[in-house]
């Protein structure tokens, strides 16, 4: 079933270091249903053959165009979705492994406490009929992880750590501002002292000072409790700040994966280059002097992607080969992976210094 | 910019309070600013400081138990070629006809949370067509054609398919773009954008900003842009209003705010940005927590967290001081009169 794609090169490295999580050839296809008879007319290939690993205690960043499938990958890992194909190998605390893609919903329950997700949309992910205490403590209650008295203490403690006032515990989500709700979602994820957290745009609605506070908290937790993060974000400054390695996705596929420093200063994929060139720099004196790469052309449709390299209709370096042959993800040295035919010839520009 | 002929909206001493069971939340407490045609005003500030509530008040959508308790919001509306009408939005009935004719037409808003303004029950296309038909004479076919055009314009792939999709089937960024299409559908005079690009990647963000700025040039549209991303502010703002706990604490042009900030809160804010060129050093944070809105600190609301606080700061509420004609701060460091009596008492 799982064909051996060249992406599995990645896995061979992973096995040496005993990763906490290893995603192999993950596919998530959403059927496109038409009409009242529910005829399936095609598939949105939201994640299409994605492979990567995360070491214990490491933070892996996941970036890419909106709609490229980042949330889908995250949701597969916490098994909010059942993947169409591929495996998600998780290493338990006792060093045995389990393929999360295959376990049933009953067994899944045992991992809910250890693998947590901070959801992208703090509005739709908080139940409006539950107060903040109920929201944050839900997983503790369902799994009977502690006594009611301890629960109250734990909720208050995590709220405080996330910059929320414990007095507000009995309030309902609607009485909070956008950023405050986001912190409720963060507190809910962290209250169980998890081992792996998928952070989907976890700090994007926060003001810079609170964001700094949360990032410092996440970093402290990582160090103290050996937490591991998959950190999805559009904010490339935050990604740079917090991640060890970064993976870049484009239309359901990984196009580059490297050490954060290497990716920012020496990107090898043209899409990554365009991302780096578009990072807004907080200095108005530089606003006219930049040479941002404007991506022209149509955003690719994941149900009907372009031929060859998916990026070729928008790539300014594309040659004939790009529209016919799909580039594979390959290692160009130092575990710097890239899927571009011309990665070793192109001279691309990294992030602007400011 | 001080050209008053271009004045679009003027907000003066606006106060919005929430009357909750636990007490009164002074969410917006004396906010003053104005927006001109063709101008971008960026609003920044701590989460919960009242940005969204202020923005929504411009459309008279303040939810209970909130209420505009003081101040005014005036819209300068072009009646005919040389006639400008003053509409006091703050006095309008929230459900009345007049404000409904303004919403979506003169002033439209991109909301912070796409899912609360896109109904899950209707397709994206139907919702945009509805807005178009409400404010123009377009029939169903024309509205659909215009909707397709708009969806394409905001960079949605295969608009032909997406127009008939329900919002939950779209990615976060696509929903946001659908909302932007809806907000732009009637060429508003003022666009309020509440964190419109927070959910978007930087290249799409750049496209959306180009798009808004293009429209702004073509139609001389005014923009109120709320964001936490100081990088975006640096790139698009003409002027910046920095808010803290319901007040505008500093207000000036973008260059002054970044190059010569005077309010201690603005200064701290600029110091806590992570740099895209640096990794993993501890980020600077503003000490302490945002105070409970029920227990607003006395004097200057920022004083418990302010690195430059003086004894007088817990006693006197700062008033707005003009450092230059276009630079206002709300801080006692610049108020010689307020500082004086304390010094005399001390000696
Ligand atoms: N439940 C679903 N049913 C059908 N299609 C879906 C579903 N969820 C996501 N998709 C589609 O899958 C693709 C990837 O979506 P996803 O939410 O993973 O993107 P993303 O990278 O997280 O984007 P963003 O940065 O905007 O949040 C999109 O084309 C989206 O429309
Ligand atoms: N229905 C309500 N009842 C009580 N307080 C409310 C209500 N709605 C908003 N508030 C309070 O009003 C204040 C301002 O909220 P607002 O949404 O304007 O913040 P904001 O500046 O937009 O924050 P963010 O950056 O997090 O979106 C907050 O302290 C919030 O808790
Ligand atoms: S393979 Fe071709 S089209 Fe794809 S990124 Fe490389 S140069 Fe561009
Ligand atoms: Mg997402
Ligand atoms: Mg807000």
pLDDT more than 90, % of chain B: 55
CA angle A58, A61, A64 (to 5 degrees): 165
For B100-115, the pLDDT digits (tens) are 889 988 999 988 776 6
Pocket test for ligand 3, best of A340, A345, A346 (most atoms within 8 A of CB): A340
Instruction: Record the pTM.
Output: 0.86
Tokens representing residue B296 in the block:
């607003």
Mean pLDDT (whole number) for B219-243: 95
Instruction: Say yes or no: A156 contacts chain B, CB-CB below 8 A.
Output: no
Which of B283, B288, B289, B295 is best to mutate for the A interface (most A CBs within 10 A)? B283
Q: Which helix (H) or strand (E) holds B212?
A: helix B202-219
Nearest CA distance, B107 vs chain A (angstrom):
22
Atom of ligand 3 nearest to the CA of A309: 4
What gap in Å lies between CA B55 and CA B11, rounded to an integer? 11
Distance B112 CA to ligand 2 centre (A): 12
Q: Which of B195, B296, B304, B301 is nearest to B247 (CA)?
A: B301
- Grouping H, G, I as helix, E, B as strand and the rest as coil, residue A266 is coil
What gap in Å lies between CA A292 and CA B232, rounded to an integer? 14
Instruction: Count each helix (H run) and each strand (E run) in chain B, helices first.
Output: 12, 12
Inter-chain touch B232–A213, beta carbons under 8 Å? no
Instruction: Say yes or no: A339 contacts chain B, CB-CB below 8 A.
Output: no
- A97 forms bridges with which residues in the sheet? A91
The answer to whether residues B29 and B15 touch, using CB atoms and an 8 Å cutoff, is yes
Residue of A nearest to B157 (CA): A299
Report the pLDDT value the prediction gives residue A18, as an integer from 0 to 100.
Answer: 80
Q: Which of A77-86, B157-166, B323-332 bottoms out in mean pLDDT, i.e. has the lowest?
A: B157-166
Report the pLDDT value the prediction gives residue A274, as an integer from 0 to 100.
Answer: 94
Inter-chain touch A205–B235, beta carbons under 8 Å? no
- Is it the case that residue B3 has pLDDT exceeding 80? no
Q: Atom 1, ligand 3: which residue's CA is nearest?
A: A340
Residue B157 Cβ < 6 Å to ligand 1: no
Inter-chain touch A284–B258, beta carbons under 8 Å? yes
Q: Which of B255, B93, B108, B89 is nearest to B185 (CA)?
A: B108
CB-closest option in B158, B202, B274 to A234: B202
- Is it the case that residue B194 has pLDDT exceeding 90? yes
Instruction: Say yes or no: A165 contacts chain B, CB-CB below 8 A.
Output: yes
Q: Which of B62, B6, B73, B66 is nearest to B33 (CA)?
A: B73
Q: Looking at per-residue confidence, does B318 or B342 come out higher? A: B318
CB-closest option in B113, B157, B286 to A123: B113
Pocket test for ligand 3, best of A296, A319, A341, A345 (most atoms within 8 A of CB): A341
Report the pLDDT value the prediction gives residue B114, as an integer from 0 to 100.
Answer: 63
Encode chain A (354 residues) as per-residue pLDDT tens digits.
344 444 444 444 444 568 999 999 999 999 988 777 778 888 999 999 999 999 999 999 999 998 899 999 999 999 999 999 999 999 999 999 999 999 998 899 889 999 999 988 777 788 889 999 999 999 898 887 788 889 999 999 999 888 888 988 999 988 887 778 888 999 999 999 899 999 999 888 788 887 888 888 888 888 888 899 999 999 999 999 999 999 999 999 999 999 999 999 999 999 999 999 998 889 999 887 667 788 876 677 888 899 999 999 999 999 999 999 999 999 999 999 999 999 999 999 988 765
Report the pLDDT value the prediction gives residue A287, as an integer from 0 to 100.
Answer: 83
Residue A125 Cβ < 6 Å to ligand 1: no
Q: How confident is the model at residue B19 (pLDDT cuts 50, 70, 90)?
A: very high
Report the pLDDT value the prediction gives residue A8, as an integer from 0 to 100.
Answer: 43
What gap in Å lies between CA B343 and CA A222, rounded to an integer? 48
Residue of B nearest to A200 (CA): B199
Tokens representing residue A236 in the block:
């490339």
Distance A109 CA to ligand 4 centre (A): 24
- A23 forms bridges with which residues in the sheet? A52, A88
Residue B171 Cβ < 6 Å to ligand 1: yes
Other CB atoms within a 10 A radius of the CB of residue A83 amount to 24
Q: Which of A44-58, B8-22, B151-165 bottoms out in mean pLDDT, i.e. has the lowest?
A: B151-165
- Give all domains of chain A, ordered by start, each with its CATH number: 6-114+194-210+217-338 (3.40.50.300), 129-193 (no CATH)
Nearest CA distance, A52 vs chain B (angstrom):
21
Residue A327 Cβ < 6 Å to ligand 3: yes
Terminal-to-terminal C-alpha distance of chain A: 49
Q: Which of B36, B253, B2 is nearest to A285 (CA)?
A: B253
Q: Which of B164, B168, B190 is nearest to B7 (CA)?
A: B190
Q: Which helix (H) or strand (E) holds B270?
A: helix B264-271
Residue A46 Cβ < 6 Å to ligand 1: yes
| Average pLDDT across chain B, whole number | 88
For B27-62, the pLDDT digits (tens) are 999 999 999 999 999 999 988 899 999 999 999 999
* B299: Cβ contacts below 8 Å, ≥ 6 apart: B312, B313, B314, B315, B316, B317, B318, B332
Residue with tokens 């939950």: B168
In DSSP notation, A76-107 reads HHTTSS--SEEEEEEE-TTS-EEETTT--HHH
3-state helix, strand, coil in chain A (%, to 5): 35, 20, 45
Mean pLDDT (whole number) for B276-305: 80
- Is it the case that residue B207 has pLDDT exceeding 90? no
What gap in Å lies between CA A286 and CA A354, rounded to an integer? 8
């Amino acid at each position: 079933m799982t064909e051996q794609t060249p992406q599995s090169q990645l896995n061979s490295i992973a096995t040496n270091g005993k990763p906490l999580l290893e995603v192999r050839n993950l596919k998530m296809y959403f059927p496109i249903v038409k009409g009242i008879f529910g005829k399936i007319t095609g598939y949105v290939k939201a994640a299409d053959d994605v492979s990567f690993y995360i070491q214990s205690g490491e933070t892996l960043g996941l970036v890419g165009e909106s709609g490229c499938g980042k949330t889908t990958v995250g949701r597969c890992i916490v098994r909010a979705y059942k993947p169409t194909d591929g495996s998600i190998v998780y290493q338990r605390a006792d060093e045995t492994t389990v393929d999360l893609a295959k376990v049933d919903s009953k067994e899944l329950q045992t991992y809910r406490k250890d693998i947590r997700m901070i959801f992208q949309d703090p509005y739709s992910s908080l139940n409006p009929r539950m107060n903040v205490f109920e929201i944050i403590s839900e997983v503790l209650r369902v799994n009977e992880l502690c006594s009611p008295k301890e629960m109250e203490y734990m909720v208050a403690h995590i709220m405080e750590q996330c910059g929320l006032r414990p007095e507000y515990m009995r309030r309902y989500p609607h009485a909070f501002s956008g950023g405050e709700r986001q912190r409720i979602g963060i507190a809910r994820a962290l209250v169980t002292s998890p081992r792996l957290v998928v952070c989907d745009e976890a700090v994007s609605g926060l003001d810079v000072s609170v964001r700094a506070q949360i990032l410092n908290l996440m970093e402290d937790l990582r160090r103290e409790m050996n937490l591991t993060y998959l950190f999805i974000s559009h904010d490339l400054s935050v990604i740079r700040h917090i991640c060890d390695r970064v993976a870049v996705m484009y239309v359901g596929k990984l196009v580059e994966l490297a050490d954060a420093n290497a990716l920012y200063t020496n990107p090898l994929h043209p899409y990554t280059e365009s991302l780096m060139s578009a990072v807004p720099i907080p200095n108005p004196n530089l606003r006219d002097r930049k040479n941002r790469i404007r991506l022209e052309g149509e955003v690719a449709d994941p149900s009907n992607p372009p031929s060859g390299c998916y990026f070729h209709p928008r790539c300014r370096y594309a040659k004939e080969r790009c529209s016919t042959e799909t580039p594979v993800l390959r290692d160009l040295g130092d575990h710097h992976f890239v899927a571009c035919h011309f990665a070793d010839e192109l001279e691309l520009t990294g992030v602007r210094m400011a | 910019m001080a050209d008053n002929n271009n004045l679009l909206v003027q907000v003066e001493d606006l106060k919005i309070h929430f009357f909750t069971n636990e007490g009164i939340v002074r969410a917006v407490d004396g906010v003053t600013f104005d927006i001109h045609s063709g101008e971008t005003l960026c609003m920044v500030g701590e989460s919960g400081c009242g940005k969204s509530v202020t923005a929504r008040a411009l459309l008279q959508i303040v939810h209970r138990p909130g209420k505009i308790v003081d101040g005014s919001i005036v819209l300068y509306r072009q009646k005919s070629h040389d006639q400008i009408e003053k509409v006091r939005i703050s006095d309008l009935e929230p459900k009345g006809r007049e404000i409904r004719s303004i919403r979506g037409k003169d002033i439209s808003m991109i909301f912070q949370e796409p899912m609360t303004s896109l109904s899950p029950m209707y397709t994206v296309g139907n919702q945009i067509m509805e807005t178009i038909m409400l404010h123009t004479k377009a029939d169903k076919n024309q509205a659909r054609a215009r909707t397709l055009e708009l969806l394409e314009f905001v960079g949605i792939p295969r608009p032909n398919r997406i127009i008939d999709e329900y919002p939950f089937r779209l990615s976060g960024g696509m929903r946001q773009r659908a909302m932007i299409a809806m907000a732009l559908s009637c060429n508003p005079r003022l666009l309020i954008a509440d964190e419109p690009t927070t959910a978007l990647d930087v290249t799409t963000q750049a496209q959306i900003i180009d798009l808004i700025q293009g429209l702004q040039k073509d139609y001389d549209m005014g923009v109120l842009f709320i964001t936490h991303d100081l990088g975006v502010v640096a790139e698009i703002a003409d002027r910046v209003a920095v808010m803290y706990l319901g007040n505008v604490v500093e207000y000036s042009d973008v260059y002054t705010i970044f190059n010569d900030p005077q309010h201690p809160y603005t200064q701290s804010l600029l110091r806590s940005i992570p740099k895209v060129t640096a990794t993993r050093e501890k980020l600077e944070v503003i000490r302490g927590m945002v105070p409970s809105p029920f227990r607003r600190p006395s004097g200057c609301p920022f004083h418990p967290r302010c690195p430059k606080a003086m004894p007088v700061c817990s006693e006197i509420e700062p008033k707005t001081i003009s450092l230059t004609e276009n630079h206002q701060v709300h801080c006692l460091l610049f108020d010689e009169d307020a500082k004086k009596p304390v010094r005399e008492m001390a000696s």
